[in-house]
Amino acid sequence: MTNEIDFDGVRIYAIPMRARFRGITVREGMLIEGPAGWGEFCPFADYDDIVAASWLATTIEQCTRGWPEPVRDRIPINCTVPAVGPERAHEIAANSGCRTAKVKVADHAESLPEDLARVEAVRDAIGHSGAIRVDANGVWDVDTAVLHIRQLDKAAGGLEYVEQPCWTVEELAAVRRKVDVRIAADESIRRADDPLRVAIAGAADVAVIKCTPLGGVRRSLEVAEAAGLPCVVSSALETSVGLAAQVALAGALPEMDFACGLGTLSLLDSDLVSGSESLRAVNGYLPIPRTPPTPDPSLLATYELTDPDQASWWRDRLSRVRAVHEHASLLTFNDGNVSPK
């Protein structure tokens, strides 16, 4: 059904962010329309074409097939606290309406004092009954992770879990043996050929599942089942168009033990969807969309990427990634053998 997708009519956006997040201050991406509605293609600039092809697969699923039926009407979410000062961190958590907060840590090599102050501020904001999780994006070595986790756990009055403290599965397993805090795997699952390896290695207590880079809702449900761990659905920093696929995944998961990391529209200056279709949380919850949301033409015009060189870069990238995706789609697996479709 990709021949029914309007690849020539893509809309490229650039939305400023309210704080630096994952090293960027402007979020860029593309909206693509198909027979089932709109999808979003927004892999980060440092991802190669092979990695980005999974992001395109999610876009194509959304705008041609839609999603499986949900098993719940709404999902709890965490607020996301970027690497900001303690006053701003307190404000974000206190005003979010969420009972769970995900706090970014390890923003730079000497960040521990800042991280501790940020976590303490968030604890003060959400109270002792709230849950705090931290995300290090895999930058620590084992010894650093153990030292920092113990101090952050103390500052938080108990952490719910630590997300991706180190990069490799072996490192995660080593950290998990040395601390009394749950370890969650993110990159180790979505970038792995075999997500079950994380569970077999005893490397994590929680699997963070991001549908956008995994290749769609249906593929993500397979990964979640293979991982064999409690799952948290988390955002890839999309607008409501792409975020809707993540929420659809959370709605379709058989079990939900933790709040989802899908309250990330608060990190952007604006959305591309208006009104009730915009996926902004109310009192710490998001409703499950049944169909992809429709972008607002006025917002598309306001946040259209105007730099011609950067727009050309995105179009060239899409063309390359489409070729990768179409090549992969020519192959199918039958009884363990690869054969042409």
Interval 204-239: pLDDT, tens: 999 999 999 999 999 999 989 988 899 999 999 999
Pairwise CA distance, residues 165 & 184, whole Å: 8
63 in Cβ contact with 37 (< 8 Å)? yes
Pairwise CA distance, residues 156 & 216, whole Å: 34
Structure tokens at 262: 């899908």
Regions of the chain with pLDDT less than 70: 1, 191-196, 200, 331-341
CA-based nearest residue to 236, from 76, 24, 37, 70: 24
Compute the residue count for the chain. 341
Q: Which of 102, 154, 178, 210 is catalytic?
A: 210
Write down the pLDDT at residue 339.
35
Identify the DSSP state of 318. H
2-66+297-334 placed in CATH 3.30.420.10: no
Identify the DSSP state of 304. B
Q: Which of 104, 154, 178, 341 is catalytic?
A: 104
Write down the pLDDT at residue 331.
60
Is 135 a known ligand-binding residue?
Answer: yes
CA-based nearest residue to 250, from 106, 122, 76, 129: 76
Cα-based angle 245, 266, 127 (whole degrees, multiple of 5)? 110
DSSP string across 183-216: EEESHHHHT-S-THHHHHTT--SEEEE-HHHHTS
Write down the pLDDT at residue 164.
95
Write down the pLDDT at residue 192.
57
Domain ranges for the chain, please list them: 2-66+297-334, 74-287
Write down the pLDDT at residue 188.
76
Is 186 a known ligand-binding residue?
Answer: yes
The helix/strand/coil state of 26 is: strand
74-287 placed in CATH 3.40.50.970: no
Write down the pLDDT at residue 196.
67
DSSP string across 105-145: --SSTT-HHHHHHHHHHHHHHH-TTSEEEEE-TT---HHHH
Structure tokens at 74: 């709404």
Task: Specify the pTM.
Answer: 0.91
Write down the pLDDT at residue 200.
67
Write down the pLDDT at residue 336.
45
Look up 341 and say whether it is catalytic: no
